[in-house]
Amino acid sequence: MMQTCSIAWFRRDLRLSDNPAWSGAQDAANAVPLVVREPRLLDTAGPFRRRAFLDAVDALGESLAATGVDLRIESGDPTEIVAGVAAEIGASAVHVNADVTRWATRRDDAVSAALGAVPLHPHWGTLVHAPGTVLTKKGTLSRVFTPFHKQWQTLPLGEPLDLDESVPEPLGTAVERAGGYPATRDLPGVAGTTDLSTALRFGMVSARAVVRRMLDEGDGGEAIVRQLAWRDWYAHITLGAPDIDRVALRSEFDAIPWETGKDADAAFAAWSEGRTGYPIVDAGMRQLRETGWMHNRVRMISASFLVKDLLIDWRRGERFFRHWLRDGDIPSNAGNWQWVAGTGPDAAPYFRVFNPVTQSRRFDPYGAYIRSWVPELAGLDSRSIHAPWEAVPVDLAKMGVGLGVDYPTPIVDHALAREETLRIYKAALQNRTADPLGTSAEK
Ligand SMILES: Cc1cc2nc3c(=O)[nH]c(=O)nc-3n(C[C@H](O)[C@H](O)[C@H](O)COP(=O)(O)OP(=O)(O)OC[C@H]3O[C@@H](n4cnc5c(N)ncnc54)[C@H](O)[C@@H]3O)c2cc1C
């Protein structure tokens, strides 16, 4: 008699440990692990995310090979491939970890239809808590982070799905840095954050395993766990507002007349290439393009600069970040862009504009971060490195820096730009319309 088998289709959960889809498929006997390399995803991902995905697939293949199982890797449209493999091996079910984006939901609906009588079993293995489980007393998703977090913390994590007690490799750095995290997490010149985002993006480590381990690490570990609640929150919001990367969640701000045309394109190019004349912004954008990662504090500063100083649509910045980021992910990226732009739920109030110079002096006091990424300014002292235009030209010349020659003069005056942006935002507020989340009473 032919033994039943099932498929575990791995997508952004590229691990064996603590993986509900993999466990679910194994429970059904003879699990066949499958990865589909989807051209649409690979073509739109920038070089760093593409590489990270392919490396994660290789690592998964090696983990499986160590247990004597071959990972089946196919390339093409998953609608045809998954149904084709299921028919070929006579699978009784396909197990997946569900995802929250509109694109993933549509893909899974199409695959499910193509599978016909073979069920597609969704599990939740990419987040700490599944969407729909963290609700207010009224049974809705809170659009304010703090109450969401409070409730999120009370939910049980459940037992790990396997007894592997070793610390998964990507967690090593997090364990090492947890103690210092509260003091150093905001300092881009210090390697003080966990560096877990790419491993979480592709599920090389389970978010629940991170929480379980970090809860043993005192205050630092708790601060890290709180960041994972933000990650969950943006994912839960995305499931209910799948156009989060296209539509302002506070729709009145979609009335903002963003800058467009030749000048805006030139300003966008200067921002994206790290030549705005604001060293902290330029350092961040260069770090992004050279490594595929940018420190969180600098992501906030450079995103704010694009939206609030250049008045360029946050959607343009969101797409650019998503292309280049190794951890680029619609919920976290669009959620944070909307937070910075002041257009999202529980966002920074629109009138809070990051000052790129004071932020730089506060969080990179000795200019260590700027020196790493903007080497032409490395000779400047710790005061002028944040705002070279404030230095006396002769001092700059002594350090070999000619403003407008070796390093750009600022492309915009921050104080003037801020005033103009606030005026425009205020005008947009007069155009209030419905709230796409439908939860504005939920404060
Ligand atoms: C404009 C902007 C865009 C961003 N785009 C992304 C993105 O595409 N993908 C992404 O994973 N993160 C994004 N973030 C959030 C954050 O910057 C990164 O998660 C973090 O810098 C990754 O480094 P880390 O793993 O060392 O973070 P740590 O500080 O060590 O945090 C631990 C984990 O918590 C989660 N986390 C931390 N901060 C946030 C946050 N603000 N929102 C959601 N999750 C968070 C991440 O999974 C992270 O790996 C963005 C932030 C901003 C301001």
Separation CA 245–CA 318 (nearest Å):
7
- Say if 139 falls within a structural domain: no
Phi, psi of 366 (to 5 degrees): -100, 5
- Say if 49 falls within a structural domain: yes
Q: What is the mean predicted confidence (pLDDT) over 20-26? A: 95
Separation CA 355–CA 416 (nearest Å):
12
- Say if 281 falls within a structural domain: yes
Predicted local distance difference test score (pLDDT) of residue 162: 76
233 and 255 in a single domain? The answer is no
266 and 414 in a single domain? The answer is yes
Q: Are 59 and 14 in contact (CB under 8 A)?
A: yes
Computed over every residue of the chain, the mean pLDDT equals: 94
- CA 177 to ligand 1: nearest atom: 30
Residue-range definition of the domain harbouring residue 424: 251-429
The Å distance, Cα 408 to ligand 1 centre, comes to 29
Q: What is the CATH number of the domain that holds 80?
A: 3.40.50.620
Task: Identify the band that residue 163 occupies on the pLDDT scale cut at 50, 70 and 90.
Answer: low
The Å distance, Cα 193 to ligand 1 centre, comes to 10
362 and 282 in a single domain? The answer is yes
Q: What is the mean predicted confidence (pLDDT) over 83-87? A: 98
Report the domain count for the chain: 3
- Say if 133 falls within a structural domain: no
Looking at 240, 274, 300, the residue that finishes a domain is: 240
296 and 407 in a single domain? The answer is yes
182 and 151 in a single domain? The answer is yes
For 355-387, what is each residue's pLDDT tens digit?
999 999 999 999 999 999 999 999 999 999 999
**The one-letter amino acid at 358:** T
- Say if 378 falls within a structural domain: yes
Best substitution site from 222, 232, 307, 327 to test ligand 1's pocket, by max atoms within 8 Å of Cβ?
327
Separation CA 196–CA 52 (nearest Å):
13
Best substitution site from 227, 244, 281, 319 to test ligand 1's pocket, by max atoms within 8 Å of Cβ?
227
For 92, which DSSP code? E
158 and 255 in a single domain? The answer is no
Looking at 215, 240, 265, the residue that finishes a domain is: 240
- CA 295 to ligand 1: nearest atom: 21
For 102-153, what is each residue's pLDDT tens digit?
999 999 999 999 999 999 999 999 999 999 999 999 999 999 999 999 999 9
Predicted confidence (pLDDT) at residue 440 exceeds the cutoff of 50: no
Predicted local distance difference test score (pLDDT) of residue 438: 46
Separation CA 11–CA 61 (nearest Å):
13
292 and 324 in a single domain? The answer is yes
Separation CA 153–CA 211 (nearest Å):
10
234 and 257 in a single domain? The answer is no
The Å distance, Cα 203 to ligand 1 centre, comes to 15
For 170-184, what is each residue's pLDDT tens digit?
899 999 999 999 999
17 and 66 in a single domain? The answer is yes
Predicted confidence (pLDDT) at residue 2 exceeds the cutoff of 60: no
Q: What is the pTM of this model?
A: 0.96
320 against 167, higher pLDDT: 320
359 and 420 in a single domain? The answer is yes
The Å distance, Cα 145 to ligand 1 centre, comes to 15
- Say if 218 falls within a structural domain: yes
For 246-268, what is each residue's pLDDT tens digit?
999 999 999 999 999 999 999 99
74 and 213 in a single domain? The answer is no
- CA 328 to ligand 1: nearest atom: 8
- Say if 404 falls within a structural domain: yes
151 and 176 in a single domain? The answer is yes
Q: What is the CATH number of the domain that holds 313?
A: 1.10.579.10
- Say if 441 falls within a structural domain: no
Quick one: which H or E segment has residue 75? strand 72-75
Ligand 1 site residues (CB inside 6 A) read 185, 193-197, 200-201, 224, 227-228, 230-231, 234, 296, 299-300, 303, 321, 325, 327-329, 332-333, 336-337, 340
Q: Who's near 321: CB < 8 A, 6+ residues apart?
A: 288, 299, 303, 328, 333, 337
Looking at 212, 240, 268, the residue that finishes a domain is: 240
Q: What is the CATH number of the domain that holds 168?
A: 1.25.40.80
Best substitution site from 48, 127, 197 to test ligand 1's pocket, by max atoms within 8 Å of Cβ?
197
Phi, psi of 209 (to 5 degrees): -65, -35
